[in-house]
Chain A
């Protein structure tokens, strides 16, 4: 008589594999990309103009030169013209935005005109920065952090708490620009005050840094349209949105990019 025995199987074949594939993506007509920044700190405003590329194109800097760029203060109707300093970068030394004022950016390229409006909100003070070290390295996005894979391998993740007090009465939108050892960190940190309007904020920013690094945090107050733009941009970069689309720009006429008028409050901390 035959005998059968049960063989204990203990394999788990949950293996996933990744590979680069060819996808036939539609060629698209190039579109202009305008990045306008107007700060309430002198010398920190600039406008950058470039264009879109197809996936297989490898031009490092598709700058658009020869554009006419102006910024108008809607209150005083004063118009400043920006000059091209390097290819595709337009600046005017001494150009300074004023809190509470609304500005219009106008860019003329050939016979196309692109315009955007942005308001500098009232300033919010950055009181202090406090560092918190996390146990172990943690990759992945925390609140406001994007945790882009592949960036800064080997550095540990730390938390820096920017302490500030949110003003009452209206919805405030914030962006934190983080600089690590004089290099601007790619990650987009944005926040609004929904849920903690009028209170002191102790929410941390999660960044990669090592002992001895010098980290500067710039607390910027931005308007709602700019906040929405960066929210959408962050979703796009992380490919995390259910419905990826170009972030809604405050520029008209089909231009990509944004015009951001903002306040600026910086503080620096040495990492321990």
Chain B
């Protein structure tokens, strides 16, 4: 096998040289009139001058650039080939639990827990981390629908919006608290999930995508136009912020506050840090919930439904219930994220729930690797931090963003973590349930 790899490498090295030489010749032919010859103004008369050194540099640059490009492409291809080979040749290694991934997951969790401590005086970092976690949660929610059940949903932001508006209305109109509103909003969004799922039961793939896209737009347009209910384009303002078990984050006053109760000096960053831990908790609960679902028959049925619907029905699985449950649970998780979003912002308007958001959440799931929980975290980091880091590049920001997405898809077509853990393993030789 080693000789085989060596042989292909040598062969491709020669091929690469030849390929680069071809490019250099083309560059030379094009370069002679474009670079090699130029006109100069000499005492009012136009004369042709030559720039051979510049042409030589140009051809050399083309040659080297092409060589490098081929080399990189070949290396990537070769790595993929060896990986595929390893996939079929040593299946056990491929399917064994990957301790490295596990460690990465625990490391990420430890980092997430310690982040506000390390950056307690840097509000911007904690705020951005909170945004990342919102997207992580949305990604995990959509992962149920798209990654596990294989139902392409382009209107996921609708559930995010329904959750946010449900909390906003319950709290501003009826004075409900965050924890009271959370389960109710979850129930409401789950019903919206079923509402979307019911008429689309027979649809799959692109057709389903179109309907979900429409659903997302309908929700947004209703929010814009139903002014009495949603405040229209002005949105809903002064949504109560969550309190710490009834203790508000306020400067000291008549009522007991969080800072006073704990004998701390009041600081606006208390709330920021509290919100961060709140979304971390919600996200972790989401993760536990989804991981647990995957090991239950219903979660396995989602995945089997993604693989082959007819075969599933032939196993006696009620396709309708399985799909509706995926829609409902995915929607519910998106709704929870929406409730948090409304509570954090204190202000919501339909502008926060455009198709762009749906696309980013879907991109997180796809880039992360369909169905991979840790992949969603990595993809959220990339997709939220990249535009943040790119602020210096101003108008090139979105270009950078797009280029990064394309590069990831070329580098890892199955997503950052395409690996899938089996949900059942043998225990010491015998099968365990």
A, B assembled together: no
- Interface residues of chain A, those whose CB is within 8 Å of chain B, are none
Q: Which residues of B contact A (CB under 8 A)?
A: none
